[in-house]
């Protein structure tokens, strides 16, 4: 199982990062050891002093595919959930300055908390999904999929040109603006169309 993450898929987030708004999808991967499931506590890693939350809608791949056409991409995922793409922003910044890969900042153990999934059919229009991250009850990020630069189907078509998608793979589809630091003791809750789908604590 692999975790594919899309970077800069919401223009306002690209701007807040002072990054270019991309003209084609940007992706990177996390290993399976990045997964943190079932609301288990996340332990603040020692190697960073600036760990940021990025709430993202997550697609679960439901069949094997390579060179998937955009028109058929919807047949390759049947469940949708929420996750956090934790990012050690201080380390990422150093990697960016040196032109180095981001894995140290993005792909560490437990860097991909994952909530519960729901059948996509029950969600209605996938291009109009509200999602939200609350920390200690306060809204920190709120997005809607109609602001995606690259739709779920476009992302699947793009990534599958390079990488075979397999059943159980996860695609974290990018974060809206409002990313920021977390601290020990924070309680994170993710909502998809108003329903709580993710909950865990920073220890």
Nearest position to Mg ion, beta carbon? 85
Determine the size of the site formed for Mg ion (CB under 5 A): 3
Using CB under 5 A as the binding rule, whether residue 175 contacts Mg ion is answered as yes
Distance CA 198, CA 188 (A): 8
Minimum CB distance to Mg ion, residue 97 (Å): 19
Strand boundaries in 31-137, DSSP class E: 35-36, 51-53, 55-61, 77-84, 87-88, 112-113, 118-119, 130-135
Minimum CB distance to Mg ion, residue 106 (Å): 8
Location of structure tokens 């990012």: 87
User: 26 vs 118, which CB is nearer to Mg ion?
Assistant: 26
Using CB under 5 A as the binding rule, whether residue 105 contacts Mg ion is answered as no
Find the DSSP H helices in the chain: 11-16, 89-98, 103-106, 152-159
- Retrieve residue 168's tokens: 């159980």
Using CB under 5 A as the binding rule, whether residue 85 contacts Mg ion is answered as yes
Minimum CB distance to Mg ion, residue 43 (Å): 20
DSSP reduced 3-state for 97: helix
Binding part of the chain for Mg ion, among 26-34, 63-71, 80-88, 142-150 by CB under 5 A, reads: 80-88
- Chain-centre distance of CA 33, in angstroms? 16
- Chain-centre distance of CA 63, in angstroms? 20
Minimum CB distance to Mg ion, residue 187 (Å): 21
* Among the listed residues 152, 199, 181, the one whose alpha carbon sits nearest the alpha carbon of residue 53: 181
Binding part of the chain for Mg ion, among 28-36, 97-105, 172-180, 191-199 by CB under 5 A, reads: 172-180
Binding part of the chain for Mg ion, among 16-24, 29-37, 83-91, 130-138 by CB under 5 A, reads: 83-91
Among 3, 54, 88, 135, binds Mg ion (CB under 5 A): 54
Binding part of the chain for Mg ion, among 49-57, 119-127, 135-143, 188-196 by CB under 5 A, reads: 49-57
Using CB under 5 A as the binding rule, whether residue 145 contacts Mg ion is answered as no
Torsion of CA 147, 153, 155, 159, to 10 degrees: 180
User: 66 vs 175, which CB is nearer to Mg ion?
Assistant: 175
Q: Note the residues at the interface with Mg ion (CB under 5 A).
A: 54, 85, 175
């Amino acid at each position: 199982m692999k975790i594919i993450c899309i970077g800069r898929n919401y223009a306002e987030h690209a701007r807040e990062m002072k990054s270019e708004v991309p003209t084609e999808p940007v992706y990177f991967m996390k290993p399976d050891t990045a997964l943190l499931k079932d609301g288990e506590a996340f332990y603040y890693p020692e190697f960073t002093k600036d760990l940021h939350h990025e709430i993202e809608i997550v697609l679960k791949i439901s069949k094997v595919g390579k060179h998937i056409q955009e028109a058929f991409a919807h047949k390759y995922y049947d469940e949708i959930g929420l996750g956090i793409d934790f990012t050690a922003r201080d380390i990422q910044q150093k990697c960016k300055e040196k032109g180095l890969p981001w894995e140290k900042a993005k792909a560490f153990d437990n860097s991909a908390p994952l909530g519960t999934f729901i059948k996509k059919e029950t969600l209605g229009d996938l291009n109009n999904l509200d999602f939200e991250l609350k920390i200690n009850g306060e809204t920190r990020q709120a997005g809607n999929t109609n602001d995606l630069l690259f739709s779920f189907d476009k992302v699947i078509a793009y990534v599958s040109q390079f990488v075979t998608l397999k059943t159980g793979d996860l695609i974290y589809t990018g974060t809206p603006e409002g990313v920021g630091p977390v601290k020990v003791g924070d309680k994170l809750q993710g909502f998809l169309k108003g329903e709580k789908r993710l909950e865990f604590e920073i220890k």
